[in-house]
């Protein structure tokens, strides 16, 4: 896609990208579709703490995660929290893209007001049902389908999944409802490319819950073992059997999109069997099965889930060099529980105030917003 002068169209996006999830990926996918190159600015820990509250991941972890998203061409570290025209010009970006929610500074100022005023701002449709605020909430209450408050249950389908349930009102963005998967969304995230006849096919499987830098480093190493990487994702009940404690945090459909957004992944098997069979290896023409250097829970019959590829000399343990796990992320949240609860509640209140002001402005000027969904 080029402009009228046959120049490459550079698109700018920026954000915290804390706990990078499929909602972030979908926004970046839509932004990339509006141009040729996607440049993504990522804020520092200091800026996020000042305007939003403590981030879950460090800036170095967040830089790496954004670089791992298949639609991203370049990452700018330490991007300013308020997007300026100077930033767009510096990276030769014609316009900035953001979702149809509002982000504000600590003082309640729209972070995109400068580029909006200059006509260099475009909106894409936000992915409903997921946000970092929501995922932090799930971890604080560590539940899949409902939240427990003493002897009461919180119905997600009825009330939404934000932890900030102590606030009477909820943000229309981060306090929204469950994610509803569609076949179209999976197709949008998938490359749709089949392996070539001579490709060496690598297979890995797991929960890949709360997709993180540990997963990313492992998948990079696994991809290096061949030409085409297939990731098998276990169902929610299977993950719960070997992880217990109401894992997974994210459901199967959410995990599918998070993994598909990774640039090292070629294909995903939705609801893969926990115990790898000869039939599975033959069906996908798998050359090697890889697993990380983490404990391997036995199958329900007590055997190794990798006994078949082990017997066929098609199994390899990969050391990614990264010790991050989903459990460690949850530990980070729990250890700083009060800080994150406060962060979520303050963020919800600011967004509600911004949304109400936004609605009043729209009513005065007429609803002329155009939001793209690609």
In the predicted structure, residue 143 carries a pLDDT above the cut 60: no
Where is pLDDT greater, at 271 or 156? 271
Other beta carbons within 10 angstroms of residue 237's beta carbon come to 9
Instruction: Report DSSP state, residue 260.
Output: H
Return left, alpha or beta for 165; rule: phi > 0 is left, psi -120 to 50 is alpha, else beta.
alpha
The answer as to whether 331 is a domain residue is no
Higher-confidence residue of 242 and 349: namely 242
Q: What is the pTM of this model?
A: 0.81
Q: How far apart are CA 262 and CA 73, in angstroms?
A: 13
User: Does 161 have pLDDT greater than 90?
Assistant: no
Residue 114 within a domain = yes
Residues 271 and 191 in one domain: yes
Locate 42 and state its tokens. 């990522």
CA 179/CA 313 separation, integer angstroms:
40
Is 279 within a domain?
yes
Q: How far is CA 320 from CA 19, 182, 217, 290, in A?
A: 20, 33, 6, 11
In this structure, what CATH number is given to the domain that contains residue 56? 3.40.50.620
Does a structural domain hold residue 21? yes
Specify the pLDDT at position 36: 97
Residues 217 and 346 in one domain: no
140 and 256 part of one domain: no
Buried b (16+ CB within 10 A) or exposed e, 80-119: ebbbeeebbeeeebbbbbbbebbbbbeeeebbbebbeeee
What tokens were used for 265?
A: 């992944």
The answer on 284 and 171 residing in a single domain is no
pLDDT above 90 covers what percent of the chain?
60
The mean pLDDT of 321-343, rounded to a whole number, is 81
Cα separation, 330 vs 56, whole angstroms: 10
Asked whether residue 54 is assigned to any structural domain, the reply reads: yes
* pLDDT score for 139: 79
Q: Do both 67 and 196 map to the same domain?
A: no
Q: What is the pLDDT of residues 103-128, one digit of tens each?
A: 888 888 899 999 999 999 999 987 76
Residue 289 binned pLDDT confidence (cut-offs 50, 70, 90) = very high
Residue 28 and residue 162 in one domain: yes
Greater model confidence, 262 or 371: 262
The model's confidence at residue 352, banded by pLDDT at 50, 70 and 90, is: low
Domain boundary among 308, 326, 344: 326
Sign for the pseudo-dihedral over CA of 43, 47, 50, 54 = positive
**Whole-number pLDDT of residue 31:** 97
- How many percent of the chain have pLDDT more than 70? 77
Q: What is the mean pLDDT of residues 351-366?
A: 60
Closest by CA position to 224, among listed 202, 193, 199 = 202
Do 116 and 235 belong to one domain? no
Is the confidence at residue 343, as pLDDT, over 50?
yes
Residues 168 and 64 in one domain: yes
* CA distance readout (Å), 281 to 8, 200, 284, 287, 291: 43, 13, 6, 8, 15
SS3 106: coil
Residues 17 and 161 in one domain: yes
Number of domains in the chain: 2
Strand partners, 76: 41
Query: Does the residue 304 lie in any domain?
Result: yes
Instruction: Give pLDDT tens digits for 189-228.
Output: 998 899 999 999 999 999 999 999 999 999 999 999 999 9
Strand partners, 125: none
In a domain, 240, yes or no: yes
Using the predicted structure, report yes or no on whether residue 353 has a pLDDT greater than 70.
Answer: no
Listing DSSP states for 2-25 in one string gives B-TTS-B-EEEEEE--TT--HHHH
H-type helices in 94-182, by residue range?
113-117, 132-141, 156-159
Would you state the pLDDT for residue 157? 37
> Quick one: pLDDT at residue 196?
96
**Distance between CA atoms of residues 66 and 79, nearest Å:** 13
Q: 175 Cβ partners below 8 Å, 6+ apart? A: 133, 134, 160, 162, 164, 348
> 258 vs 51, which has greater pLDDT?
258
Q: Is residue 197 part of a domain?
A: yes
> Does one domain contain both 86 and 143?
yes
Given a cut of 70, whether residue 92 has pLDDT beyond it is yes
**Residue pair 220/263 in contact by the 8 Å Cβ criterion:** no
Condensed to tens digits (0 to 9), the pLDDT of residues 1-46 reads: 555 566 899 999 999 998 888 889 999 999 999 999 999 999 999 9
172 and 31 inside one domain: yes
Q: Are 232 and 205 in contact (CB under 8 A)?
A: yes
Domain enclosing residue 187, as ranges:
183-326
Of 74-83, 173-182, 184-193, 241-250, the one with minimum mean pLDDT is 173-182
For residues 133 and 190, state if they share a domain.
no
């Amino acid at each position: 896609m080029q402009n009228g002068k046959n120049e490459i169209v550079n698109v700018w996006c920026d954000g915290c990208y804390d706990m990078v999830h499929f909602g972030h990926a979908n926004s970046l996918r839509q932004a990339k579709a509006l141009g040729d190159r996607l440049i993504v600015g990522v804020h520092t820990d200091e800026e996020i703490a000042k305007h939003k509250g403590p981030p879950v991941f460090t800036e170095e972890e967040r830089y790496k995660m954004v670089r791992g998203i298949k639609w991203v061409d370049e990452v700018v570290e330490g991007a300013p929290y308020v997007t300026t025209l100077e930033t767009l010009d510096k990276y030769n970006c014609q316009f900035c893209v953001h979702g149809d929610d509002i982000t504000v500074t600590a003082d309640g100022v729209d972070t995109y007001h400068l580029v909006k005023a200059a006509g260099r701002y475009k909106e894409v449709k936000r992915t409903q049902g997921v946000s970092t605020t929501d995922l932090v909430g799930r971890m604080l209450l560590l539940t899949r389908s409902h939240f427990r408050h003493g002897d009461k249950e919180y119905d997600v389908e009825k009330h939404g999944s934000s932890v900030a349930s102590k606030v009477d009102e909820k943000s229309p963005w981060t306090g929204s409802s469950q994610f509803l998967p569609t076949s179209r969304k999976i197709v949008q995230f998938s490359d749709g490319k089949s392996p070539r006849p001579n490709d060496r096919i690598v297979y890995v499987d797991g929960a890949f819950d709360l997709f993180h830098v540990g997963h990313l480093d492992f998948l990079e190493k696994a991809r290096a073992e061949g030409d085409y990487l297939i990731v098998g994702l276990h169902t929610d009940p299977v993950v719960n059997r070997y992880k217990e404690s109401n894992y997974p945090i994210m459901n199967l459909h959410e995990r599918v999109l998070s993994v598909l957004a990774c640039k090292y992944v070629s294909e995903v098997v939705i609801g893969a069997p926990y115990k790898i069979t000869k039939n599975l290896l033959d069906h996908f023409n798998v050359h090697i099965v890889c697993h990380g250097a983490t404990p391997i829970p036995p199958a329900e019959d007590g055997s190794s889930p990798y006994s078949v590829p082990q017997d066929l000399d098609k199994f390899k343990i990969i050391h990614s060099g990264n010790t991050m796990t989903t459990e460690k992320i949850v530990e980070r949240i729990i250890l700083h529980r009060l800080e994150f609860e406060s962060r979520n509640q303050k963020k919800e209140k600011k967004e509600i105030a911004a949304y109400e002001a936004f609605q009043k402005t729209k009513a005065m000027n007429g609803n002329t917003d155009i939001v793209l969904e690609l």
